[in-house]
Structure 1
Amino acid sequence: MIKLIAIDLDGTLLKDDKTISEKNIKTLQAAKQQGVKVVLCTGRPLNSVLPHLETLGLVEEGDFAVTFNGGLIQRNDTGEILSKVLLTKADIENIYQLSQELVFPLDVVSGPKVLKIQPQPTSNPSWYHKLNPLLNFVDVELSELPNDTEFNKAVCAISEEKIDELLPKVPAEYHEQYSIVRSGKAIFEFMPKGVSKADGLRRLGDLLGIQPEEMMALGDEENDQAMIRFVGLGVVMENGTAELKKDAQYITATNEEDGVALAVEKFVLADKEA
């Protein structure tokens, strides 16, 4: 029996216009009313997720979110942080050095703010502010970073073609030091080693007493792969990547066709009714 549904946002729950369909809203609310935990599991920071949590009615006691690709677990009603894994200032300096060598822009998410590490290459300007307009962006020189700042993740957001070209050039030593994932066609991210949506779900499951086999996860991109493999029922969107579909136990309709709702109806609500 499914006790927890973990749902990615972009390309999964959200339509291409970044809204949630009425069918998805009603279906997830029905699952919650039947006692199932509905958990948004995203690479985004919490402040860019809050409007969607409110839309879904997931801001009550007992509601949780997994953000920063598993780096942070938080109570939605109070904002209390239950678990977090961070990068250090030395990590940011190391990753920035790579960004200079490979000529890509670097944005660092630090709680509610995004630090646009300067200088950035004029030939490859960052797209991150366009992809996440709700976030607060601040230009910061690398030398100005304080030692006591919390760094959640480092992000490169540029064109799909440039990321296709850049990612294979990232040295093996960086993959050994960090979890590096592509979270969208125009984004790849550096996170603390071992951090993933699966790791976040494991830690949340330990807190709630819910086993992986009692979880269902829905996603569409590379950063969803770990959780799709981790849970008892991994569902991939029809618009998901070909690589991710290899790990799917079920492929649902696209994000434009209420794929989340259809899968929840099939595997959660129908099971509860039975």
Structure 2
Amino acid sequence: MTQNIKLIASDVDGTLINSEHQATEYTKEVIHRLKDHGIDFVIATGRSYDGALGVAQQLDIVEEGYGIICLNGLRTYNLPHEECVDGRTMTYEECMKMEQLGKKYHMGILYCYDDVIYFQMENIAYQDYTIGMKHNKLRFFKDRANTEEVQALSDIKHRFDANDPILKIVFVQNDDYLDLVFGRIKKEIHYDFDLLLVGHGWAEIMPKSVNKGEALIAYAASKGIKPEEIVAFGDAENDISMISRVGLGVAMENAMGSLKAVAKDMTDTNDNDGVAKYIEKILEDRK
């Protein structure tokens, strides 16, 4: 089957890069060999464009004509130009429902925009969040993200009034607590939206029509590539939509059980160059 592969898609965190947030030299070398075999490559991540671009720069592939699918499929870019295809965003009224749900379950709520992440968390919820977090508390804000604390969604209504698109909403909380209540919250999410457990203590809310799978299939189609000609790598629930729709969906050894359940194959962990090792096998099969 790998003889017919024309496109490889990879998630970033927990997949393409290691726990130190770095792409190894081995990974870079293997990805650079894809062009010699006529295989395209695309990054598919929950990160923003800037965060995904940083990974592309690490890999030194910005000028290679590859793609970036970011924000779980909300935006797709064709490098090296910043041509963008946008998906649907959430309305103020929809975000209000998410705020109410987050407050009900004592979540920290992140309202993510291009220029800033607004952070809302009640005192009791913050105390729950910091229990057991030690020096890692608020660890998700260490990548130089611009954050601003707000007391309520209404504090940023002016962004909606100005038609500034919100990129996504994230619920954050103490790992153990979020694991405990995640299923309950998921049952209360409106049917038009998905709640996706992306990492420990981190769950993202996106419209159902916005996901990596839809964006990847559309990106591939723009290049004349069929779903069965795609290999995709991932580790979390926001990767299920693409892992389940392509010809060969591959789960990392460190992936969540829900993703492994739909994957057709598995590779080594992100800390052991799992993506690069699997791609190497694909390239060996084509000789």
Task: Normalising by structure 2, report the TM-score.
Answer: 0.87
Matches within 5 A, 1:35-74: 35-60=38-63, 62-74=65-77
SS in 1 for 2:286: helix
Q: 1:179 aligns with which of 194, 198, 201?
A: 194
Contact 2:107 2:121 in 1 (8 A): no
Q: CA deviation at 1:90?
A: 1.6
Following the alignment from structure 1 to structure 2, what is the Cα–Cα distance between the partners of residues 226 and 36? 22
Counterpart in the other structure of 2:221 = 206
Following the alignment from structure 2 to structure 1, what is the Cα–Cα distance between the partners of residues 209 and 139? 28
In the superposition, relative to structure 1, how do residues 105 and 254 fare at CA in structure 2: closer, same or farther (>3 Å)?
A: same
Counterpart in the other structure of 1:85 = 88
Paired residue total? 272
Following the alignment from structure 2 to structure 1, what is the Cα–Cα distance between the partners of residues 248 and 12? 18
Q: CA deviation at 1:114?
A: 1.2
Counterpart in the other structure of 2:148 = 138
Following the alignment from structure 1 to structure 2, what is the Cα–Cα distance between the partners of residues 123 and 83? 37
In the superposition, relative to structure 1, how do residues 171 and 243 fare at CA in structure 2: closer, same or farther (>3 Å)?
A: closer
In the superposition, relative to structure 1, how do residues 83 and 203 fare at CA in structure 2: closer, same or farther (>3 Å)?
A: farther
Segments of 5+ residues of structure 1 without an aligned counterpart are none
Following the alignment from structure 2 to structure 1, what is the Cα–Cα distance between the partners of residues 191 and 25? 43
Following the alignment from structure 2 to structure 1, what is the Cα–Cα distance between the partners of residues 186 and 196? 14
Q: CA RMSD in A?
A: 2.1
SS in 2 for 1:217: strand
Counterpart in the other structure of 2:133 = none
Counterpart in the other structure of 1:188 = 203
Following the alignment from structure 2 to structure 1, what is the Cα–Cα distance between the partners of residues 176 and 129? 14
Following the alignment from structure 1 to structure 2, what is the Cα–Cα distance between the partners of residues 50 and 230? 25
Segments of 5+ residues of structure 2 without an aligned counterpart are 131-135
Matches within 5 A, 1:77-156: 77-117=80-120, 121-125=125-129, 130-132=139-141, 133-140=143-150, 141-145=152-156, 146=158, 147=160, 148-156=163-171
Which amino acid in the other structure matches residue 261 of structure 2? K
Which amino acid in the other structure matches residue 51 of structure 1? G
Contact 1:225 1:244 in 2 (8 A): yes
SS in 1 for 2:270: coil
Which amino acid in the other structure matches residue 217 of structure 1? A
Do structure 1's residue 30 and structure 2's residue 40 form an aligned pair?
A: no
Higher helix share: 2
Identity of counterpart residues, as a percentage?
30
Counterpart in the other structure of 2:284 = 270
SS in 1 for 2:231: strand
Matches within 5 A, 1:236-251: 236-251=251-266
SS in 1 for 2:34: helix
Following the alignment from structure 2 to structure 1, what is the Cα–Cα distance between the partners of residues 73 and 137? 20
